[in-house]
Chain A
Amino acid sequence: MEILEIQNLTKIYKDGTTALRDISFNVKKGEFAIIIGSSGAGKSTILRSINRLVQPTSGSILFQNKEITTSSKGELRKIRREMGMIFQGFHLIKRVSVLKNVLHGRLGYMNSFKGAIGAFSKEDEEAAWSLLERVGLTDQAYKRAGELSGGQQQRVAIARALAQKPALILADEPIASLDPTTSETIMNYLYQICHEDGITCIVNLHQVEVAKRYATRILGVQQGTIIFDGSATELSDSEIQHIYQKKLVV
Protein backbone atom coordinates (compact mmCIF):
# COMPACT_ATOMS: atom_id res chain seq x y z
CA MET A 1 0.00 0.00 0.00
CA GLU A 2 1.38 3.37 -0.99
CA ILE A 3 1.53 5.96 1.75
CA LEU A 4 3.24 8.58 -0.36
CA GLU A 5 3.02 9.17 -4.10
CA ILE A 6 5.19 11.89 -5.52
CA GLN A 7 4.74 12.84 -9.12
CA ASN A 8 6.68 15.25 -11.33
CA LEU A 9 7.82 17.26 -8.35
CA THR A 10 9.83 20.34 -9.28
CA LYS A 11 11.17 23.04 -7.02
CA ILE A 12 12.83 26.19 -8.28
CA TYR A 13 13.87 28.57 -5.50
CA LYS A 14 13.36 32.31 -5.77
CA ASP A 15 17.03 32.87 -6.57
CA GLY A 16 16.63 30.65 -9.65
CA THR A 17 18.29 27.48 -8.32
CA THR A 18 16.54 24.36 -9.50
CA ALA A 19 16.59 22.05 -6.49
CA LEU A 20 14.31 19.33 -7.84
CA ARG A 21 13.74 18.40 -11.49
CA ASP A 22 10.62 16.44 -12.22
CA ILE A 23 11.01 13.87 -9.45
CA SER A 24 8.61 10.93 -9.14
CA PHE A 25 8.64 8.09 -6.63
CA ASN A 26 6.29 6.20 -4.32
CA VAL A 27 6.83 5.06 -0.78
CA LYS A 28 5.05 2.02 0.61
CA LYS A 29 3.75 1.74 4.13
CA GLY A 30 6.42 0.44 6.53
CA GLU A 31 9.39 1.24 4.31
CA PHE A 32 12.59 2.59 5.82
CA ALA A 33 13.79 4.56 2.84
CA ILE A 34 17.10 6.36 2.87
CA ILE A 35 17.95 9.14 0.46
CA ILE A 36 21.64 9.59 -0.25
CA GLY A 37 23.46 12.18 -2.30
CA SER A 38 26.02 14.94 -1.95
CA SER A 39 25.27 18.31 -0.36
CA GLY A 40 23.02 20.45 -2.49
CA ALA A 41 21.68 17.48 -4.44
CA GLY A 42 18.15 18.25 -3.26
CA LYS A 43 17.70 15.73 -0.42
CA SER A 44 16.45 18.31 2.08
CA THR A 45 14.14 19.89 -0.47
CA ILE A 46 12.47 16.53 -1.06
CA LEU A 47 11.76 16.00 2.65
CA ARG A 48 10.73 19.58 3.25
CA SER A 49 8.33 19.50 0.31
CA ILE A 50 6.58 16.52 1.85
CA ASN A 51 5.53 18.47 4.93
CA ARG A 52 5.39 21.74 3.01
CA LEU A 53 8.12 23.59 4.85
CA VAL A 54 9.01 24.19 1.22
CA GLN A 55 6.25 24.96 -1.28
CA PRO A 56 6.88 22.93 -4.46
CA THR A 57 6.89 24.85 -7.73
CA SER A 58 4.95 22.13 -9.55
CA GLY A 59 4.03 18.50 -9.29
CA SER A 60 1.87 16.54 -6.94
CA ILE A 61 2.32 14.80 -3.60
CA LEU A 62 -0.31 12.35 -2.42
CA PHE A 63 -0.06 11.49 1.26
CA GLN A 64 -2.47 8.73 2.27
CA ASN A 65 -4.24 9.37 -1.03
CA LYS A 66 -4.74 13.07 -0.29
CA GLU A 67 -3.21 15.83 -2.41
CA ILE A 68 -1.20 18.01 -0.07
CA THR A 69 0.54 20.53 -2.31
CA THR A 70 -2.62 22.62 -2.50
CA SER A 71 -4.07 22.08 0.97
CA SER A 72 -5.20 25.05 3.05
CA LYS A 73 -3.59 26.21 6.30
CA GLY A 74 -6.09 24.31 8.43
CA GLU A 75 -5.67 21.13 6.41
CA LEU A 76 -1.90 21.55 6.51
CA ARG A 77 -1.92 21.43 10.33
CA LYS A 78 -3.77 18.11 10.17
CA ILE A 79 -1.34 16.73 7.58
CA ARG A 80 1.74 17.89 9.45
CA ARG A 81 0.68 16.27 12.70
CA GLU A 82 0.67 12.94 10.87
CA MET A 83 4.31 13.44 9.90
CA GLY A 84 7.03 13.66 12.50
CA MET A 85 10.17 15.49 11.50
CA ILE A 86 13.67 15.11 12.89
CA PHE A 87 16.42 17.59 12.08
CA GLN A 88 20.19 17.66 12.00
CA GLY A 89 20.25 20.46 14.59
CA PHE A 90 17.65 18.77 16.89
CA HIS A 91 15.73 22.07 17.08
CA LEU A 92 14.24 21.66 20.54
CA ILE A 93 13.10 24.57 22.67
CA LYS A 94 16.24 24.68 24.78
CA ARG A 95 14.91 26.63 27.74
CA VAL A 96 11.97 24.31 28.25
CA SER A 97 11.99 20.94 30.01
CA VAL A 98 12.55 17.70 28.13
CA LEU A 99 9.03 16.55 29.00
CA LYS A 100 7.48 19.75 27.63
CA ASN A 101 9.45 19.34 24.43
CA VAL A 102 8.01 15.87 23.96
CA LEU A 103 4.53 17.21 24.68
CA HIS A 104 4.99 19.76 21.88
CA GLY A 105 4.37 16.82 19.58
CA ARG A 106 0.74 16.94 20.70
CA LEU A 107 0.14 20.60 19.75
CA GLY A 108 -1.23 19.76 16.33
CA TYR A 109 -4.04 17.76 17.95
CA MET A 110 -5.09 20.45 20.41
CA ASN A 111 -7.19 23.53 19.84
CA SER A 112 -5.01 26.57 19.33
CA PHE A 113 -5.73 28.18 22.70
CA LYS A 114 -5.38 25.06 24.84
CA GLY A 115 -2.11 24.26 23.18
CA ALA A 116 -0.85 27.81 23.57
CA ILE A 117 -1.33 27.81 27.33
CA GLY A 118 0.11 24.30 27.53
CA ALA A 119 -2.98 22.58 28.95
CA PHE A 120 -1.92 19.08 27.92
CA SER A 121 -4.25 16.24 28.83
CA LYS A 122 -3.45 13.51 31.36
CA GLU A 123 -3.26 10.91 28.60
CA ASP A 124 -0.83 13.06 26.62
CA GLU A 125 1.41 13.44 29.64
CA GLU A 126 1.37 9.73 30.36
CA ALA A 127 2.15 9.04 26.72
CA ALA A 128 5.04 11.49 26.87
CA TRP A 129 6.46 9.72 29.92
CA SER A 130 6.29 6.33 28.24
CA LEU A 131 7.98 7.78 25.15
CA LEU A 132 10.78 9.12 27.33
CA GLU A 133 11.11 5.67 28.81
CA ARG A 134 11.39 4.25 25.31
CA VAL A 135 14.27 6.55 24.41
CA GLY A 136 15.81 6.03 27.86
CA LEU A 137 15.51 9.57 29.17
CA THR A 138 13.02 9.33 32.04
CA ASP A 139 15.57 10.57 34.54
CA GLN A 140 16.18 13.71 32.44
CA ALA A 141 12.49 14.62 32.05
CA TYR A 142 12.59 17.79 34.15
CA LYS A 143 15.96 19.00 32.88
CA ARG A 144 16.08 21.77 30.34
CA ALA A 145 16.48 20.40 26.84
CA GLY A 146 19.50 22.66 26.28
CA GLU A 147 21.40 20.98 29.12
CA LEU A 148 21.39 17.60 27.39
CA SER A 149 24.12 16.23 25.11
CA GLY A 150 23.59 16.18 21.36
CA GLY A 151 22.67 12.52 21.26
CA GLN A 152 20.22 12.92 24.12
CA GLN A 153 18.65 15.96 22.44
CA GLN A 154 18.14 13.95 19.28
CA ARG A 155 16.42 11.23 21.31
CA VAL A 156 14.09 13.89 22.73
CA ALA A 157 13.43 15.04 19.17
CA ILE A 158 12.57 11.45 18.22
CA ALA A 159 10.20 11.25 21.21
CA ARG A 160 8.61 14.53 20.14
CA ALA A 161 8.06 13.18 16.64
CA LEU A 162 6.59 9.95 18.09
CA ALA A 163 4.25 11.94 20.34
CA GLN A 164 2.52 13.01 17.16
CA LYS A 165 1.58 9.34 16.59
CA PRO A 166 2.75 9.84 13.03
CA ALA A 167 2.17 7.65 10.01
CA LEU A 168 5.41 8.94 8.52
CA ILE A 169 8.69 10.18 9.95
CA LEU A 170 10.94 12.47 7.96
CA ALA A 171 14.51 12.61 9.24
CA ASP A 172 16.75 15.25 7.67
CA GLU A 173 20.39 14.30 8.31
CA PRO A 174 19.58 13.09 11.85
CA ILE A 175 23.14 12.01 12.65
CA ALA A 176 25.20 14.57 10.76
CA SER A 177 26.21 16.48 13.90
CA LEU A 178 26.83 13.47 16.12
CA ASP A 179 29.86 11.26 16.76
CA PRO A 180 29.94 7.73 15.27
CA THR A 181 28.90 5.87 18.46
CA THR A 182 26.03 8.25 19.19
CA SER A 183 25.05 8.11 15.54
CA GLU A 184 24.64 4.38 15.77
CA THR A 185 22.47 4.66 18.89
CA ILE A 186 20.24 7.20 17.19
CA MET A 187 19.90 5.14 14.02
CA ASN A 188 19.08 2.07 16.12
CA TYR A 189 16.36 3.91 18.02
CA LEU A 190 14.92 5.33 14.85
CA TYR A 191 14.97 2.03 12.98
CA GLN A 192 13.64 -0.08 15.86
CA ILE A 193 10.83 2.27 16.79
CA CYS A 194 9.66 2.69 13.22
CA HIS A 195 9.84 -1.07 12.72
CA GLU A 196 7.93 -1.86 15.92
CA ASP A 197 5.25 0.77 15.44
CA GLY A 198 4.86 0.29 11.72
CA ILE A 199 5.84 3.86 10.97
CA THR A 200 7.10 4.64 7.50
CA CYS A 201 10.38 6.52 7.58
CA ILE A 202 12.32 8.57 5.05
CA VAL A 203 15.83 9.52 6.10
CA ASN A 204 18.34 11.80 4.43
CA LEU A 205 21.85 10.58 5.00
CA HIS A 206 25.38 11.44 4.08
CA GLN A 207 26.93 8.19 5.18
CA VAL A 208 26.51 5.49 2.56
CA GLU A 209 27.70 2.73 4.91
CA VAL A 210 25.04 3.61 7.48
CA ALA A 211 22.44 3.81 4.74
CA LYS A 212 23.30 0.35 3.49
CA ARG A 213 22.97 -1.12 6.98
CA TYR A 214 19.47 0.16 7.78
CA ALA A 215 17.67 0.93 4.54
CA THR A 216 14.95 -1.27 3.15
CA ARG A 217 15.30 0.93 0.10
CA ILE A 218 17.84 3.47 -1.07
CA LEU A 219 17.22 6.47 -3.28
CA GLY A 220 20.23 8.17 -4.83
CA VAL A 221 19.80 11.83 -5.66
CA GLN A 222 22.05 13.89 -7.86
CA GLN A 223 21.43 17.47 -8.98
CA GLY A 224 17.74 17.32 -8.30
CA THR A 225 16.97 14.01 -9.99
CA ILE A 226 16.71 10.47 -8.69
CA ILE A 227 19.38 8.39 -10.39
CA PHE A 228 19.20 5.29 -8.21
CA ASP A 229 16.24 3.51 -6.66
CA GLY A 230 16.75 0.05 -5.24
CA SER A 231 17.76 -2.14 -2.33
CA ALA A 232 21.01 -1.86 -0.40
CA THR A 233 22.45 -4.93 -2.16
CA GLU A 234 21.74 -3.41 -5.56
CA LEU A 235 23.75 -0.34 -4.67
CA SER A 236 27.13 -1.14 -6.17
CA ASP A 237 30.32 0.83 -5.72
CA SER A 238 30.06 2.21 -9.22
CA GLU A 239 26.52 3.39 -8.48
CA ILE A 240 27.75 5.14 -5.36
CA GLN A 241 30.49 6.81 -7.35
CA HIS A 242 27.94 7.84 -9.91
CA ILE A 243 25.69 9.40 -7.24
CA TYR A 244 28.48 11.35 -5.62
CA GLN A 245 30.06 12.43 -8.88
CA LYS A 246 29.29 15.96 -9.92
CA LYS A 247 27.77 16.28 -13.32
CA LEU A 248 29.70 18.56 -15.62
CA VAL A 249 27.91 21.80 -16.13
CA VAL A 250 27.48 22.34 -19.86
Chain B
Amino acid sequence: MKENMPINNNIITSPSKTEPPRKKTKRDRFLTGILIFGGLFFIFSLIQLNLDYSRLISGTSKLFSFVGHMMPPDFSTWEKVIGAGLESLQIAIVGTSIGVVLALFLSFLAAENLSPHRTISWMIKGIAAFVRAIPALIWVLIFIVAVGMGPFPGILALAFNSLGMLVKVFAQSIEEIDDGVLEAMRSTGASWMQVIFQGVIPTVLTAYMSWSIFRLEIDFRYATILGMVGAGGIGWELTSAMRMYRLEEASFIILVIFLMVFTVEVTGNQLKKMIQRI
Protein backbone atom coordinates (compact mmCIF):
# COMPACT_ATOMS: atom_id res chain seq x y z
CA MET B 1 0.00 0.00 0.00
CA LYS B 2 2.54 2.51 1.21
CA GLU B 3 4.83 1.76 -1.70
CA ASN B 4 2.05 2.43 -4.16
CA MET B 5 1.07 5.80 -2.79
CA PRO B 6 3.75 8.01 -4.26
CA ILE B 7 3.05 6.50 -7.67
CA ASN B 8 -0.63 7.32 -7.40
CA ASN B 9 0.18 10.83 -6.28
CA ASN B 10 2.32 11.27 -9.34
CA ILE B 11 -0.51 10.44 -11.64
CA ILE B 12 -2.81 12.95 -10.03
CA THR B 13 -0.42 15.87 -9.52
CA SER B 14 1.62 15.73 -12.67
CA PRO B 15 -0.45 14.79 -15.68
CA SER B 16 1.47 14.55 -18.90
CA LYS B 17 1.45 17.64 -21.07
CA THR B 18 0.05 16.03 -24.18
CA GLU B 19 -3.07 14.86 -22.37
CA PRO B 20 -5.10 17.36 -20.34
CA PRO B 21 -6.22 16.18 -16.86
CA ARG B 22 -9.60 15.18 -18.14
CA LYS B 23 -10.58 13.07 -15.13
CA LYS B 24 -10.37 15.95 -12.71
CA THR B 25 -12.65 18.33 -14.62
CA LYS B 26 -15.12 15.51 -15.11
CA ARG B 27 -15.24 14.89 -11.40
CA ASP B 28 -15.53 18.60 -10.64
CA ARG B 29 -18.43 18.96 -13.02
CA PHE B 30 -20.15 15.99 -11.40
CA LEU B 31 -19.77 17.48 -7.92
CA THR B 32 -21.02 20.90 -9.11
CA GLY B 33 -24.03 19.18 -10.65
CA ILE B 34 -24.86 17.47 -7.38
CA LEU B 35 -24.50 20.73 -5.47
CA ILE B 36 -26.85 22.58 -7.86
CA PHE B 37 -29.33 19.72 -7.78
CA GLY B 38 -29.24 19.71 -3.95
CA GLY B 39 -29.91 23.45 -3.79
CA LEU B 40 -32.80 23.23 -6.25
CA PHE B 41 -34.30 20.27 -4.40
CA PHE B 42 -34.14 22.25 -1.13
CA ILE B 43 -36.06 25.17 -2.63
CA PHE B 44 -38.53 22.82 -4.30
CA SER B 45 -39.18 21.08 -0.97
CA LEU B 46 -39.83 24.35 0.85
CA ILE B 47 -42.46 25.25 -1.72
CA GLN B 48 -43.94 21.78 -2.20
CA LEU B 49 -44.33 21.00 1.53
CA ASN B 50 -46.39 24.19 1.82
CA LEU B 51 -45.24 25.07 5.33
CA ASP B 52 -47.41 27.49 7.28
CA TYR B 53 -44.85 29.85 8.79
CA SER B 54 -47.40 31.82 10.81
CA ARG B 55 -47.69 28.73 13.04
CA LEU B 56 -44.11 29.32 14.07
CA ILE B 57 -45.11 32.64 15.66
CA SER B 58 -48.27 31.41 17.42
CA GLY B 59 -46.47 28.20 18.36
CA THR B 60 -43.67 30.03 20.12
CA SER B 61 -46.04 31.62 22.60
CA LYS B 62 -47.75 28.27 23.15
CA LEU B 63 -44.38 26.69 23.78
CA PHE B 64 -43.53 29.29 26.39
CA SER B 65 -46.83 28.87 28.25
CA PHE B 66 -46.31 25.08 28.12
CA VAL B 67 -42.86 25.41 29.61
CA GLY B 68 -44.39 27.76 32.19
CA HIS B 69 -46.83 25.04 33.23
CA MET B 70 -43.88 22.69 33.66
CA MET B 71 -42.42 24.96 36.32
CA PRO B 72 -41.59 24.41 39.06
CA PRO B 73 -40.57 20.74 38.72
CA ASP B 74 -42.57 18.48 41.00
CA PHE B 75 -40.15 16.44 43.11
CA SER B 76 -42.85 14.70 45.16
CA THR B 77 -42.75 11.49 43.11
CA TRP B 78 -38.95 11.22 43.31
CA GLU B 79 -38.92 7.67 44.63
CA LYS B 80 -40.90 6.36 41.68
CA VAL B 81 -38.96 8.45 39.14
CA ILE B 82 -35.51 7.56 40.46
CA GLY B 83 -36.58 3.91 40.60
CA ALA B 84 -37.66 4.07 36.97
CA GLY B 85 -34.38 5.81 36.07
CA LEU B 86 -32.44 3.00 37.68
CA GLU B 87 -34.54 0.51 35.74
CA SER B 88 -33.50 2.25 32.52
CA LEU B 89 -29.88 1.98 33.60
CA GLN B 90 -30.39 -1.72 34.34
CA ILE B 91 -31.98 -2.27 30.93
CA ALA B 92 -29.05 -0.54 29.28
CA ILE B 93 -26.41 -2.48 31.23
CA VAL B 94 -28.05 -5.89 30.75
CA GLY B 95 -28.85 -5.23 27.08
CA THR B 96 -25.35 -3.97 26.30
CA SER B 97 -23.72 -6.85 28.20
CA ILE B 98 -25.64 -9.45 26.23
CA GLY B 99 -24.71 -7.65 23.01
CA VAL B 100 -21.04 -7.48 24.02
CA VAL B 101 -20.79 -11.18 24.90
CA LEU B 102 -22.51 -12.33 21.70
CA ALA B 103 -20.50 -9.89 19.57
CA LEU B 104 -17.29 -11.10 21.22
CA PHE B 105 -17.83 -14.64 19.98
CA LEU B 106 -19.21 -13.64 16.60
CA SER B 107 -16.31 -11.25 15.94
CA PHE B 108 -13.84 -14.18 15.91
CA LEU B 109 -15.88 -15.74 13.13
CA ALA B 110 -16.45 -12.43 11.36
CA ALA B 111 -12.87 -11.12 11.24
CA GLU B 112 -11.45 -12.11 7.87
CA ASN B 113 -7.97 -12.88 9.20
CA LEU B 114 -9.35 -15.31 11.78
CA SER B 115 -12.56 -16.73 10.33
CA PRO B 116 -12.51 -20.44 9.51
CA HIS B 117 -14.01 -19.61 6.13
CA ARG B 118 -14.57 -16.43 4.17
CA THR B 119 -18.23 -17.30 3.60
CA ILE B 120 -18.83 -17.49 7.35
CA SER B 121 -17.20 -14.10 7.74
CA TRP B 122 -19.37 -12.53 5.05
CA MET B 123 -22.52 -14.14 6.42
CA ILE B 124 -21.99 -12.86 9.95
CA LYS B 125 -21.02 -9.41 8.71
CA GLY B 126 -24.11 -9.36 6.50
CA ILE B 127 -26.43 -10.33 9.34
CA ALA B 128 -24.79 -7.73 11.60
CA ALA B 129 -25.28 -5.04 8.94
CA PHE B 130 -28.95 -6.01 8.62
CA VAL B 131 -29.51 -5.94 12.39
CA ARG B 132 -27.70 -2.60 12.57
CA ALA B 133 -29.80 -1.09 9.79
CA ILE B 134 -33.02 -1.58 11.77
CA PRO B 135 -33.31 1.19 14.39
CA ALA B 136 -33.59 0.27 18.08
CA LEU B 137 -37.07 1.77 18.17
CA ILE B 138 -38.29 -0.70 15.52
CA TRP B 139 -36.62 -3.58 17.34
CA VAL B 140 -38.42 -2.71 20.57
CA LEU B 141 -41.79 -2.61 18.81
CA ILE B 142 -41.08 -6.04 17.34
CA PHE B 143 -40.11 -7.43 20.73
CA ILE B 144 -43.10 -5.87 22.50
CA VAL B 145 -45.30 -7.84 20.13
CA ALA B 146 -43.25 -10.95 20.84
CA VAL B 147 -42.76 -10.84 24.62
CA GLY B 148 -45.10 -8.09 25.87
CA MET B 149 -44.40 -4.74 27.53
CA GLY B 150 -41.84 -4.05 30.24
CA PRO B 151 -38.03 -4.13 30.53
CA PHE B 152 -37.67 -7.43 28.67
CA PRO B 153 -38.36 -6.15 25.12
CA GLY B 154 -36.12 -3.15 25.91
CA ILE B 155 -33.24 -5.43 26.86
CA LEU B 156 -33.69 -7.55 23.75
CA ALA B 157 -33.89 -4.51 21.48
CA LEU B 158 -30.71 -3.01 22.90
CA ALA B 159 -28.90 -6.35 22.79
CA PHE B 160 -29.72 -6.76 19.09
CA ASN B 161 -28.93 -3.19 18.16
CA SER B 162 -25.61 -3.28 20.07
CA LEU B 163 -24.76 -6.62 18.53
CA GLY B 164 -25.08 -5.18 15.05
CA MET B 165 -22.63 -2.40 15.76
CA LEU B 166 -20.22 -4.27 18.01
CA VAL B 167 -19.68 -7.20 15.64
CA LYS B 168 -18.54 -4.69 13.05
CA VAL B 169 -16.14 -2.70 15.25
CA PHE B 170 -14.84 -5.78 17.11
CA ALA B 171 -14.10 -7.56 13.83
CA GLN B 172 -12.32 -4.45 12.58
CA SER B 173 -10.13 -4.41 15.70
CA ILE B 174 -9.13 -8.00 14.99
CA GLU B 175 -8.50 -7.27 11.33
CA GLU B 176 -6.10 -4.51 12.35
CA ILE B 177 -3.82 -7.03 14.08
CA ASP B 178 -0.61 -7.60 12.11
CA ASP B 179 -0.97 -10.85 10.14
CA GLY B 180 2.54 -11.79 11.21
CA VAL B 181 1.51 -11.93 14.85
CA LEU B 182 -1.19 -14.48 14.08
CA GLU B 183 1.18 -16.42 11.80
CA ALA B 184 3.76 -16.54 14.57
CA MET B 185 1.18 -18.03 16.94
CA ARG B 186 0.05 -20.55 14.34
CA SER B 187 3.59 -21.57 13.54
CA THR B 188 4.11 -22.70 17.15
CA GLY B 189 1.41 -25.28 16.48
CA ALA B 190 -1.24 -23.36 18.43
CA SER B 191 -4.85 -24.27 17.64
CA TRP B 192 -7.52 -21.79 16.49
CA MET B 193 -8.88 -21.46 20.01
CA GLN B 194 -5.41 -21.01 21.49
CA VAL B 195 -4.56 -18.30 18.96
CA ILE B 196 -7.74 -16.45 19.94
CA PHE B 197 -7.42 -16.71 23.70
CA GLN B 198 -3.65 -16.32 24.01
CA GLY B 199 -2.99 -13.95 21.14
CA VAL B 200 -6.04 -12.12 19.84
CA ILE B 201 -7.94 -11.36 23.04
CA PRO B 202 -4.99 -9.80 24.91
CA THR B 203 -4.28 -7.66 21.85
CA VAL B 204 -7.80 -6.34 21.30
CA LEU B 205 -8.94 -6.27 24.94
CA THR B 206 -8.60 -2.53 25.53
CA ALA B 207 -10.24 -1.68 22.21
CA TYR B 208 -13.13 -3.99 23.06
CA MET B 209 -13.54 -2.39 26.49
CA SER B 210 -13.58 1.12 25.06
CA TRP B 211 -16.14 0.18 22.41
CA SER B 212 -18.33 -1.54 25.00
CA ILE B 213 -18.38 1.52 27.23
CA PHE B 214 -19.11 3.76 24.26
CA ARG B 215 -21.96 1.45 23.34
CA LEU B 216 -23.30 1.52 26.92
CA GLU B 217 -23.53 5.31 26.70
CA ILE B 218 -25.56 5.03 23.50
CA ASP B 219 -27.73 2.27 24.93
CA PHE B 220 -28.53 4.25 28.06
CA ARG B 221 -29.76 7.14 25.94
CA TYR B 222 -31.84 4.67 23.91
CA ALA B 223 -33.15 3.01 27.08
CA THR B 224 -34.71 6.28 28.25
CA ILE B 225 -36.42 6.75 24.89
CA LEU B 226 -37.46 3.12 24.38
CA GLY B 227 -39.50 3.35 27.57
CA MET B 228 -41.80 5.83 25.86
CA VAL B 229 -43.21 3.12 23.61
CA GLY B 230 -43.66 0.69 26.48
CA ALA B 231 -40.30 -0.90 27.15
CA GLY B 232 -40.13 0.01 30.84
CA GLY B 233 -37.89 2.45 32.64
CA ILE B 234 -38.01 6.21 32.96
CA GLY B 235 -39.33 6.87 29.44
CA TRP B 236 -42.58 5.22 30.36
CA GLU B 237 -42.97 7.53 33.37
CA LEU B 238 -42.38 10.53 31.14
CA THR B 239 -45.04 9.43 28.64
CA SER B 240 -47.64 8.80 31.34
CA ALA B 241 -46.94 12.13 33.04
CA MET B 242 -47.28 13.98 29.72
CA ARG B 243 -50.48 12.14 28.79
CA MET B 244 -52.07 13.04 32.10
CA TYR B 245 -50.86 16.64 31.85
CA ARG B 246 -48.80 16.33 35.01
CA LEU B 247 -46.34 18.73 33.45
CA GLU B 248 -44.47 19.61 36.67
CA GLU B 249 -43.71 15.93 37.14
CA ALA B 250 -42.67 15.62 33.48
CA SER B 251 -40.12 18.42 33.87
CA PHE B 252 -38.66 16.68 36.90
CA ILE B 253 -38.37 13.45 34.89
CA ILE B 254 -36.63 15.28 32.05
CA LEU B 255 -34.21 16.76 34.57
CA VAL B 256 -33.46 13.30 35.97
CA ILE B 257 -32.93 11.90 32.45
CA PHE B 258 -30.54 14.72 31.64
CA LEU B 259 -28.54 14.24 34.83
CA MET B 260 -28.32 10.48 34.38
CA VAL B 261 -27.31 10.62 30.71
CA PHE B 262 -24.73 13.26 31.58
CA THR B 263 -23.33 11.20 34.47
CA VAL B 264 -23.11 8.05 32.38
CA GLU B 265 -21.22 9.92 29.64
CA VAL B 266 -18.77 11.58 32.02
CA THR B 267 -18.12 8.29 33.82
CA GLY B 268 -17.74 6.52 30.49
CA ASN B 269 -15.19 9.05 29.29
CA GLN B 270 -13.20 8.68 32.49
CA LEU B 271 -13.22 4.91 32.17
CA LYS B 272 -12.11 5.09 28.54
CA LYS B 273 -9.21 7.33 29.52
CA MET B 274 -8.20 4.88 32.24
CA ILE B 275 -8.33 1.98 29.78
CA GLN B 276 -6.10 3.83 27.32
CA ARG B 277 -3.47 4.12 30.01
CA ILE B 278 -3.41 0.35 30.64
A interface residue numbers (CB < 8 A to B): 51, 53, 77-81, 83-85, 87, 89, 91-96, 100, 104-105, 107-110, 112-113, 115-118, 157, 160, 164
Contact = CB atoms under 8 A, between A and B. Distances in A.
B193 interface: yes
B187 A93 contact: no
B187 A92 contact: no
Interface centre among B186, B189, B193, B206 (most CB of A within 10 A): B189
B44 interface: no
Interface residues of B, number: 23
A224 to B, nearest CB: 21
A116 B188 contact: no
Nearest to A74: B191
Going nearest first, the 7 A-B pairs with the smallest beta carbon separation are A108-B189, A81-B189, A91-B184, A116-B197, A107-B190, A80-B189, A115-B194
A80 B198 CA distance: 17
Given A93-B202, A96-B202, A107-B198, A83 B187 contact: yes
11 contacts: A80-B189, A81-B188, A93-B199, A95-B205, A104-B185, A108-B188, A112-B192, A115-B191, A115-B193, A116-B194, A118-B198
B183 A108 contact: no
A80 B199 CA distance: 17
B203 A115 contact: no
A77 B191 contact: yes
Contacts of B202: 93, 95-96
A53 B198 contact: no
B6 interface: no
B178 interface: yes
Given A78-B189, A108-B188, 4 more contacts: A79-B189, A91-B178, A115-B194, A116-B191
Contacts of A79: 189
Nearest to B189: A108
Contacts of B186: 53, 80
A114 to B, nearest CB: 9
Interface in B168-186: 178, 180-181, 183-186
Nearest to A82: B189
B196 interface: yes
A205 to B, nearest CB: 18
Contact of A85 (B178, B184, B192, B194): B184
Contacts of B181: 91-93
A95 B203 contact: yes
Nearest to A93: B199
A78 B190 CA distance: 9
A77 B189 contact: yes
Nearest to B194: A115
B184 A107 contact: no
A93 B198 contact: yes
Contact of B188 (A80, A89, A112): A80
Contacts of B190: 77, 104, 107-108, 115
Contacts of B198: 93, 96, 100, 104, 107, 115-116, 118
A157 B181 CA distance: 11
Given A53-B183, A93-B181, A96-B202, A109 B197 contact: no
Nearest to A91: B184
B185 to A, nearest CB: 7
A91 B205 CA distance: 18
Given A93-B198, A93-B203, A87 B184 contact: yes
B184 A109 contact: no
B180 A89 contact: yes
Nearest to A110: B194
B200 to A, nearest CB: 9
A53 B190 CA distance: 13
Interface in B123-170: none
B199 A89 contact: no
